[in-house]
């Protein structure tokens, strides 16, 4: 156990924890927007998979990483439009339609992968971007300031999302629509408009989360996300619908996953128990959720379609 607590191992464990948090963070912050406006999108994982494949395929065919990101965002927007149409316009039961979107994304991404790529070829992700000066600080430099641009972007997204939700007129509309859509409607706020916007934004971020995962790993395969999108939905509850809370949850998840990985690599966890150890982050999240969610109130209109005069 002693070898775990060497500074080099600790630094690389934290750094890898941050990297592992990234895809959750994109997806969960995106989902926060939707849920704050009253729409639960359970299809996040499917959208992540499609975004991941879109980015991977673009990069594989020489389109470049930036174009890959644009493709992932576009895929997310299209899926978000469809999701918003079912949830907002058709007023579908959100817990059910989201599962449909997930299965659609899971199946389509695999189909496209089998048809268009076949064998998993590696791609090169964004290079490490060392922040001048800060990256040279002892310990923290290596931990926090030697990552790819995707990681920085994910963490920068948190204060931006918090600012939009709390300090802008748009954020006020989002929060009102999620709490009392009827009140917002009587003041001339377009409930459907706000919800389309948040669901599409959230889905675009989910697509980006998938792209982050594929480019960081440098690979695509069937069910690459392995349920990350569902964890992201849970993290929104864990974070009490606040971007900073969601970040805390993502970090917790990423760090625990990273520690488990590290302990496996060092042989501290025996190979026979590695499957069990891999469950640790999920178990931890469930426990944290049980404790955290009991105290917090969800947006009053979450999962409730709005119909004027109904």
Partner 1 sequence: MAETLPGTGGRGHGLDLAMRGIVKRFPGVLANDHVDFDVRRGEIHTLLGENGAGKSTLMKILYGLYRPDAGEIRIDGEPVQIDSPRRAIELGIGMIHQHFMLVPTLTVAENVALGLASPKGPLLDLAPVARRIEELSEAYGLRVDPGAMVWQLSVGEQQRVEIIKALYRDAELLALDEPTAVLTPQEVEDLFVTLRAMAAEGHSLIFISHKLHEVLDISDRITVLRNGRLVGTVSSADATKAGLARMMVGREVVLEQVRAPVEVGPPRLEIFDVRARGDRGTEAVRGVSLQVRAGEILAIAGVSGNGQRELAEVVAGLREATGGRVLIDGSDVTGADPGQRRALGLAYIPEERMRDGAIGQFTVAENLMLHDFDRPPFARHGFLDFAEIERHCRRLVADFDVKTPSLDTTMKSLSGGNIQKAILARELSANPKVLVASQPTRGVDIGATEYIHRRLLDQRARGTATLLISEDLDEILALADRIAVMYEGEVMDVVDRADADVGRLGLLMAGVRDSGT
Size of the site for partner 1 (CB under 8 A): 23
- Please report whether residue 116 would count as binding partner 1 according to CB under 8 A: no
- Closest CB 299 distance from partner 1, rounded Å: 8
- Please report whether residue 8 would count as binding partner 1 according to CB under 8 A: no
- Please report whether residue 309 would count as binding partner 1 according to CB under 8 A: yes
- Please report whether residue 176 would count as binding partner 1 according to CB under 8 A: yes
- Please report whether residue 185 would count as binding partner 1 according to CB under 8 A: yes
- Closest CB 231 distance from partner 1, rounded Å: 26
d(CA 69, CA 27): 14
Q: Considering the complex, state which of residue 286 and residue 308 has its C-beta at the smaller distance from partner 1.
A: 308
- Closest CB 70 distance from partner 1, rounded Å: 24
Distance of CA 96 to the CA centre of its chain: 20
d(CA 8, CA 31): 35
* Tokens of residue 23, six digits: 């895809």
- Please report whether residue 62 would count as binding partner 1 according to CB under 8 A: no
Instruction: For residue 148, give the H/E element and its range.
Output: strand 146-148
Q: Is the dihedral of CA 279, 282, 286, 288 positive or negative?
A: positive
Measured in degrees and rounded to the nearest 5, phi and psi for residue 216 equal -65, -40
- Please report whether residue 195 would count as binding partner 1 according to CB under 8 A: no
- Closest CB 291 distance from partner 1, rounded Å: 17
- Please report whether residue 189 would count as binding partner 1 according to CB under 8 A: yes
Q: Considering the complex, state which of residue 2 and residue 309 has its C-beta at the smaller distance from partner 1.
A: 309
Angle formed at CA 282 by CA 7 and CA 51, multiple of 5 degrees: 90
DSSP symbol at 269: S
Compute how many other C-beta atoms are within 10 angstroms of the C-beta atom of residue 33.
29
Rg (alpha carbons) of the chain, rounded to whole number: 20
Which stretch, 15-23, 89-97, 184-192, 254-262, contacts partner 1 (CB under 8 A)?
Answer: 184-192
- Closest CB 174 distance from partner 1, rounded Å: 11
Distance of CA 89 to the CA centre of its chain: 25
Measured in degrees and rounded to the nearest 5, phi and psi for residue 292 equal -75, -45
- Please report whether residue 187 would count as binding partner 1 according to CB under 8 A: yes
Binding mask 259-298 for partner 1 (x = CB under 8 A): --------------------------------------x-
Binding mask 156-175 for partner 1 (x = CB under 8 A): -----------xxxxxxx-x
Residue 196 near residue 219, CB atoms below 8 Å: no
- Closest CB 276 distance from partner 1, rounded Å: 39
* Tokens of residue 147, six digits: 């990552």
d(CA 118, CA 96): 31
Contacting positions for partner 1 (CB under 8 A) = 167-173, 175-176, 179-180, 182-189, 297, 300, 308-309
């Amino acid at each position: 156990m002693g070898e775990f607590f060497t500074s080099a191992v600790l630094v690389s464990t934290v750094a890898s924890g941050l990297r592992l948090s990234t895809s959750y963070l994109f997806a969960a912050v995106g989902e926060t927007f939707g849920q704050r406006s009253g729409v639960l999108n359970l299809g996040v994982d499917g959208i992540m998979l499609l975004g991941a494949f879109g980015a991977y395929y673009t990069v594989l065919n020489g389109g470049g990483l930036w174009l890959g990101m644009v493709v992932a965002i576009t895929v997310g927007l299209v899926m978000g439009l469809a999701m918003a149409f079912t949830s907002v316009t058709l007023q579908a039961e959100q817990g059910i339609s989201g599962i449909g979107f997930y299965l659609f994304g899971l199946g389509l991404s695999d189909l496209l992968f089998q048809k268009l790529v076949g064998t998993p070829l590696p791609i090169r992700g964004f290079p490490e971007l060392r922040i001048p000066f800060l990256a040279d600080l002892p310990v923290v430099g290596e931990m926090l300031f030697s990552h790819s641009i995707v990681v920085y972007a994910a963490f920068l997204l948190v204060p931006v999302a918090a600012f939009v939700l709390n300090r802008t007129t748009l954020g006020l509309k989002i929060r009102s629509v999620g709490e009392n859509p009827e009140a917002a409607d009587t003041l001339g706020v377009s409930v459907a408009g706000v919800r389309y916007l948040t669901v599409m934004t959230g889905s675009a971020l989910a697509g980006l989360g998938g792209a982050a995962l594929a480019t960081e790993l440098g690979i695509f395969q069937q069910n690459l996300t392995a349920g990350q999108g569902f964890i992201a939905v849970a993290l929104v509850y864990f974070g009490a619908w606040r971007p900073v809370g969601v970040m805390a949850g993502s970090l917790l998840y990423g760090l625990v996953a990273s520690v488990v990985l590290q302990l496996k690599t060092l042989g501290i966890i025996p190979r026979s128990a590695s499957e069990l150890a891999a469950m640790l982050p999920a178990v931890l999240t469930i426990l944290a959720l049980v404790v955290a969610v009991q105290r917090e109130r969800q947006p009053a209109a979450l999962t409730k379609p709005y119909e004027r005069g109904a």
